[in-house]
Amino acid sequence: MMEDHMVTRTALVTGASRGIGRACAIALAQAGTRVALAARDLAKLEETAAEVRKAGVDAHVVAIDMSSVESIKEAIASTSKDFGRIDILVNNAGITRDGLALRMKLEDWDSVLRTNLTGAFFAAQQVLQGMMKERWGRIVNISSIVGESGNPGQANYVASKAGLIGLTKSLAQEIASRNITVNAVTPGFIETDMTSVLTDDQRSNMLAQIPLKRFGKPEDIAAAVRFLASDDASYITGHVLSVNGGMYM
């Protein structure tokens, strides 16, 4: 049923050039949703756009810097102008600047919070007006397992991802009466560029902690996002959906 209804929906996915964002864009396209792809790397975005178009829907590519309020404003304005309103926002873009709290530089704290949390908030703020007018909207924030469990050496990243969970619940309560849902997905250990730098030892240690005995794929996260963005999930809001193979319960 969902495919028919979602033909005219438009989604904006941040960090859509690779990994989880790319998989989300493709999954939404396969559900019949037009997709605006936002990231800093336009060449990589064009590659994702080609995959999106293979699903038979339009793709719109736009440069965005999630650490800049101006850039977010411009990207969303350009998407709305060229593509019509934005019905679905997937806040996926994120960065890491790992280091022990004792020695963490203020700029490493600031840049991670500004991109991962403030950027996501501002993107949501920018699309809400249109969603409220239409009385339909879906916001899906990509948090992380570490936002629930904590992780040494990542105080900034963990705080940003835990902050996204709090933001999700507050926004959900504010705008539920307008038929707009806000949910979060917390990925566990997913095979992406961000995790490819780990050593074999680190990887086998991680695997030992995962009851399902495998690492996740970006498509595992994309399936959860696609569901939460659909009409089938219309009675779910303020929820945190863990997609982590049982690594944290």
Q: Which residues of 181-213 are buried (b: 16+ CB within 10 A; e: fewer)?
A: bbbbbbbbbbebeeeeeeeeeeeeeeeeebeee
- Which architecture, in CATH terms, is 2-239? 3-Layer(aba) Sandwich (3.40)
Report the chain's C-alpha Rg in angstroms. Answer: 17
Residues 6+ apart with CB under 8 A from 52: 25, 26, 29, 35, 37, 59
**Residues that are catalytic:** 157
Distance separating alpha carbons of residues 51 and 58, to the nearest angstrom: 11
Q: What percent of the chain has pLDDT over 90?
A: 92
DSSP structural state of residue 14: E
- Inter-axis angle of helices 19-30 and 218-228, to 10 degrees? 50
pLDDT at 5: 46
Distance separating alpha carbons of residues 187 and 20, to the nearest angstrom: 9
pLDDT at 174: 98
**Domain extents in the chain:** 2-239
Q: 6: pLDDT confidence band, cut at 50, 70 and 90?
A: very low
pLDDT at 104: 98
pTM for this model (two decimals): 0.96
- How does pLDDT run across 46-57, given as a tens digit for each residue? 999 999 999 999
- How does pLDDT run across 75-97, given as a tens digit for each residue? 999 999 999 899 999 999 999 99
Q: 72: pLDDT confidence band, cut at 50, 70 and 90?
A: very high
User: Region 217-230: what's the mean pLDDT?
Assistant: 98
Of 18, 13, 12, give the one whose Cα is nearest residue 196: 18
Q: Where are the beta strands (DSSP E) in 117-246?
A: 137-142, 180-187, 240-243
Quick check: 123 and 164 in contact, CB under 8 A? no
pLDDT at 170: 98
- How does pLDDT run across 18-42, given as a tens digit for each residue? 999 999 999 999 999 999 999 999 9
- How does pLDDT run across 134-160, given as a tens digit for each residue? 999 999 999 999 999 999 999 999 999
pLDDT at 3: 46
Residue 227: CB atoms within 10 A of its CB come to 18
pLDDT at 217: 97
